Structure 1
Amino acid sequence: MNFELIEHALPMLLVGAGVTIEITAVSVAIGFLIGLFVGIARICQIKVLRIIAAVYADCIRGTPLLVQIFLIYFALPIVTGHRVEPFAAAVAACGINSGAYVSEIFRAGIQAIDVGQMEAGRSLGLTWWQTMYYVILPQAVRNILPPLGNEFIAMLKDSSLVSVIGFEELTRRGQLIIAQTYGSFEIWTTVAVLYLIMTLAISRVVAWLEKR
């Protein structure tokens, strides 16, 4: 193994890793907000909202993230007449994709709470939405921390797909370095190790939050 090549490439790969973390953090934040509202909409009392939420979740989860990236980056400009920046396309596609999966996590977490909790809140004079906000969600969030952590890790790895639109995150940086040095084994091994370090770090943070 050419350790000099790894030493030379590592600073550039670390920059790419930072970009990967940035994309993942922003995408998961967007996905969390989308997933929260869609997850609640899927079990709310308004039938139209339930249908819209179900269609969104099924369509996004039923199509590959790669296709969604292509739609936003290549197809959307044809419709709108405006070019979409790679970062905006990457974050939008990953965020929308994450939101569909997070919505299922929230839906399952909310439905895992005993129905008596909702009945107790309503009997105290709270509306359905107030009971959901003050009583149900705080309990549900505690229960869904592990799957949310898994979603964060999955999105961190799936963010490598944005390299297809030329966005220079970790995987794309590795490709560019290999094109110049032909050190496929060394570079891809280093890229894999960096992904492993990031995923292990996230796992430890989630485990700490669970204990708290």
Structure 2
Amino acid sequence: MKRHFPVIRWLMVLSIGLVVALGLFSAPIKSNAAEKTYQIGTDVTFPPFEYANDNNKYVGIDIDLMNAIAKDQGFKVNFKPTSFNGAIQAVQSGQLNGMVAGMSVTPERKGTFDFSTAYYNSGVVMAVSQNNNDIKSLKDLKGKTIAVKTGTTGAQYAQSIQKKYGFKISTFDDSSNVYEDVLTGNSVACFDDEPVLRYGINQGTKLKIVTKPAAGTPIALGVKKGTNKDLVEKFNAGLAHLKKNGEYKKIMDKYLNAKKNTEDNHSFFGILKQNKTFLWQGFLQTLWLTIVSIIFATIFGVIFGLFGVLPIKFFRGLSSTVIYLFRGMPLLVLALFIYTGIPTLSGTRIPAFIAGVITLMLDEGAYIAAFVKGGIESVDKGQMEAARSLGLPFGKSMRKVILPQGVKLMVPSFINQFIITLKDTSILSIIGILELTQTGKIIIARNLEGFKVWAMVAIIYLVVITLLTWLSNWVKRRAKI
């Protein structure tokens, strides 16, 4: 057994190094109520409350109001763009101090959130395609499908009347997808907050509102229940000042009465020209996330792949368990568990980028471990027997004889895994990482040109993946695999 110790020691050193590196990256950042800067979650795909303007700067009722209150009360705000549900979970897990995202105050949310004074009262309306003259009221929805955005008051209102009016519900993460579902005819109508729908219509979305506002609910800043009391107090005091000095009315009028900018070019190349810098930044973030993740995933995968071929039952079992566990877990679930679940249990914060890297490391690393293990096992067993018969210890036989042959089979798989990792980064938009997919969502929230923007994003992915595929094929030819 002593002959195996050098390999085992080497693998254990790599394992410890990986753990230490990740520990340094994700060192806990404790929440401090006395901090001058608050981490605030927001949707940024929910105009006119929050969205990116023509210069890709975050604006909207919530953004401008929060910034004005921060200035009035002498604190700073660091906005964290994510999905609505992602912001809710991040606040509940302690990752963020609070959220402003057109968030309605409901009895259910009061169980887990403390709210500020309401700064707007919104009502839900129903909209249909401009060409639809058959749906004029809720009674006309029987047996048909309607679209809503996940977690919104519109979704809650639709669920509350679904049984009464007998319709089906399709849910989406973004308002633009909700509207597109109606325009394509998959759904006959949609429910959303009145100012949000009116903004979309003012921007050229071919919908029309057919009902009066219903289920009006107050909208407020939300914080995790029992925490950040000082933030709520500052928000309330600042809101009162803004209402008194007229700044509040200016902000509301600016966005609630916003009209489509006639200078905007909504052609494919017009949108590309306007957003090329923003898309480039999103692509660079995707590429950086992919490179960092694949490095850690490779280390992780090689360690557990080699564990799987050691002649020690414990390590082989550990390898099989890790591969089974992380290959079998959906990437989206894993990302949310790491970003919101672990902080809930541990009371520490994990930056979104680090949570993304850990997610991809575990998921992609499990696949790498599987093909590392398979690559080594594909080498003829007689090679190891011959090396051992010549007096070489297990570790030296692995390094000098088996690995050189196995690596030759693994290289194309590594390149393919890089391609897969590049594509999988798109899922991390759910935790607010501003990569290429999240960038596309933010652009669409402003101009509601989903087809054109997603076409641009798809072309960028296809070009990069095509280049990597050519590289993979070239490596295979050079290696004569």
| TM-score for both structures, normalised by structure 1 | 0.95
Residues of 2 paired with 1:10 and 1:140: CA distance? 43
2:276 alignment partner AA: L
Residues of 1 paired with 2:382 and 2:454: CA distance? 53
- Among 446, 454, 477, the alignment partner of 1:180 is 446
Residues of 2 paired with 1:154 and 1:77: CA distance? 28
Bigger CA drift: 37-46 or 188-197?
Answer: 37-46
1:59-80 deviation line (CA, Å, top 9, x unaligned)? 1111101111011100111222
1:46 alignment partner AA: I
Kindly state the Cα deviation for residue 124 of structure 1 after the two structures are TM-superposed: 2.5
- Among 291, 298, 305, the alignment partner of 1:25 is 291
Residue 335 of structure 2 aligns to a residue whose secondary structure is: helix
> Of Structure 1 and Structure 2, which has the larger fraction of its residues in strand?
2
Superposition map of 1:34-49 within 5 A: 34-49=300-315
Q: Is the 8 A contact 1:113 1:136 kept in 2?
A: yes
Kindly state the Cα deviation for residue 34 of structure 1 after the two structures are TM-superposed: 1.2
Residues of 1 paired with 2:417 and 2:320: CA distance? 19
Residues of 1 paired with 2:339 and 2:399: CA distance? 36
Residue 391 of structure 2 aligns to a residue whose secondary structure is: coil
Confirm or deny that 1:81 pairs with 2:369.
no
Kindly state the Cα deviation for residue 209 of structure 1 after the two structures are TM-superposed: 2.7
1:86-105 deviation line (CA, Å, top 9, x unaligned)? 10000010011111001111
Residues of 2 paired with 1:33 and 1:131: CA distance? 21
Superposition map of 1:85-124 within 5 A: 85-124=351-390
- Among 299, 315, 319, the alignment partner of 1:53 is 319
Kindly state the Cα deviation for residue 115 of structure 1 after the two structures are TM-superposed: 0.9
1:200 alignment partner AA: T
Alignment length (residue pairs): 212
- Among 426, 429, 441, the alignment partner of 1:160 is 426
Q: CA RMSD in A?
A: 1.3
2:348 alignment partner AA: H
Residues of 2 paired with 1:31 and 1:136: CA distance? 22
- Among 273, 277, 288, the alignment partner of 1:7 is 273
2:440 alignment partner AA: G
Residues of 2 paired with 1:189 and 1:4: CA distance? 14
Partner of 1:134: 400
Q: Is the 8 A contact 1:6 1:186 kept in 2?
A: no
Kindly state the Cα deviation for residue 206 of structure 1 after the two structures are TM-superposed: 2.1
1:124-162 deviation line (CA, Å, top 9, x unaligned)? 322212211221111111112222222111111111000
Unpaired runs of at least 5, structure 1:
none
> Of Structure 1 and Structure 2, which has the larger fraction of its residues in helix?
1
Q: Is the 8 A contact 2:305 2:319 kept in 1?
A: yes
1:35-83 deviation line (CA, Å, top 9, x unaligned)? 1111111121111111111111111111101111011100111222111
Residue 113 of structure 1 aligns to a residue whose secondary structure is: coil
Q: Is the 8 A contact 2:285 2:436 kept in 1?
A: yes
Residues of 1 paired with 2:296 and 2:400: CA distance? 22
Question: Higher relative contact order at CA 8 Å, sep ≥6: structure 1 or structure 2?
Answer: 1
Kindly state the Cα deviation for residue 123 of structure 1 after the two structures are TM-superposed: 2.0
Residue 144 of structure 1 aligns to a residue whose secondary structure is: helix
Taking every aligned residue pair, what percent have the same amino acid on both sides? 35
Unpaired runs of at least 5, structure 2:
1-266
Q: Is the 8 A contact 1:118 1:131 kept in 2?
A: yes
Partner of 2:412: 146
Confirm or deny that 1:169 pairs with 2:429.
no
Residues of 2 paired with 1:7 and 1:113: CA distance? 52
Partner of 2:62: none
Would you identify which runs of 4 or more consecutive aligned residues in structure 1 move more than 6 Å?
A: none
Confirm or deny that 1:200 pairs with 2:200.
no
Confirm or deny that 1:190 pairs with 2:448.
no
Q: Greater CA radius of gyration, 1 or 2?
A: 2
Residues of 2 paired with 1:35 and 1:2: CA distance? 42
Bigger CA drift: 169-178 or 138-147?
Answer: 138-147
Partner of 2:134: none
